[in-house]
Copies of this chain bind each other. A is one copy, B any other.
Amino acid sequence: MNKAVGPFDVYHETIAQLAGNGIILLAGNPPNPMTIGWGTLGEIWHMPIFTVLVRPTRHTFGLMEQAKDFTVCVLSDRHKKHLALCGTKSGRDMDKIKVCGFTLAKSTHILTPYIAESIIHYECRIVHKHRLDPASLDPAIDTKYYQAKDWHMVYYGEILGTFVDCEIAR
Contact = CB atoms under 8 A, between A and B. Distances in A.
Give the number of times this chain occurs in the complex, counting copies: 2
Interface stretch (A40-48, A81-89, A92-100): A40-48
Contacts of A37: 43, 46
A53 interface: yes
23 contacts: A8-B12, A8-B15, A15-B42, A18-B42, A19-B43, A37-B46, A38-B44, A39-B42, A40-B41, A40-B42, A40-B43, A41-B42, A42-B42, A42-B51, A44-B53, A45-B141, A127-B137, A128-B136, A128-B141, A129-B133, A129-B136, A130-B133, A130-B136
Interface string A5-29: 0001001100100110000000000
Interface string A25-68: 00000000000011111111110010101000000000000000
Nearest to A139: B127
A138 interface: yes
A42 B46 CA distance: 18
A141 B45 CA distance: 7
Interface of A: 8, 11-12, 15, 18-19, 37-46, 49, 51, 53, 127-130, 132-133, 136-138, 141, 144-145
Given A39-B44, A40-B42, A51-B51, 16 more contacts: A8-B12, A11-B15, A18-B42, A38-B42, A38-B44, A38-B45, A40-B40, A40-B43, A42-B42, A42-B51, A44-B53, A45-B141, A45-B145, A127-B137, A130-B132, A130-B136
